[in-house]
Amino acid sequence: MNKTWINVFGLSAVALFFSGCQHTPTPLGKSEKNYDWDNKVHYEQTKFSDTHYFLKIRSDDYAHFTRQSVFLLRHSEKLCQGMNAQLTLQKGVQDFERLPTHPRAYQPDLQAEVKCVPK
C-alpha cells in the first residue's frame, strides 16, 4: 500500500467519525434527559426560550440532595449566561434532620423553573 492510499483512508475514517458526532438540538418545549458527570446528577431540561427553562433533577437519596441543590444553582447560572437566574422551586425541597428518629419518606424529584432576567 502506498502512503497516499493510507492518508485517504485515514481522512475518510476521521470524517466518518465526526459526522456521527453531530448534535441535533432538542425542539423548544421538549424535555431532554442529561447526566452531569461532575456532580453525578441525572436531570431533565426543558427549554421554552433562551431565557426560560424547566429543570427536573432526579432524586436518588437524601445524602445526594446537597449535590443536587448545588448543581441546580450552578446550572441555572450557566444557562443564563451573565443574566440573573430567577428560580421558582416547584417540588422536591427536602427537610433536613440531623438525627432522624424514623425513616425518611421518598422525596420527589427537585423541580425548578428558571427565568433569566437582566441585571
- Residue 101 within any structural domain of the chain: no
- Residue 22 within any structural domain of the chain: no
pLDDT in tens, 70-89: 899 999 999 999 899 999 99
Q: Which of 45-54, 65-74, 103-112 has the highest mean pLDDT?
A: 45-54
Number of domains in the chain: 1
Reply yes or no on whether the pLDDT at 41 is more than 70: yes
pLDDT in tens, 29-40: 889 999 988 888
Dihedral through CA 97, CA 101, CA 107, CA 112, nearest 10?
-20
Scan for cell 447526566, then name that residue.
Answer: 35
- Residue 57 within any structural domain of the chain: yes
Q: How far apart are CA 102 and CA 100, in angstroms?
A: 6
pTM of the model: 0.69
**Residue numbers of the domain that contains 46:** 28-94+107-119
C-alpha cell at 82: 451573565
- Residue 17 within any structural domain of the chain: no
Closest among 61, 64, 67 to 105, alpha carbons compared: 61
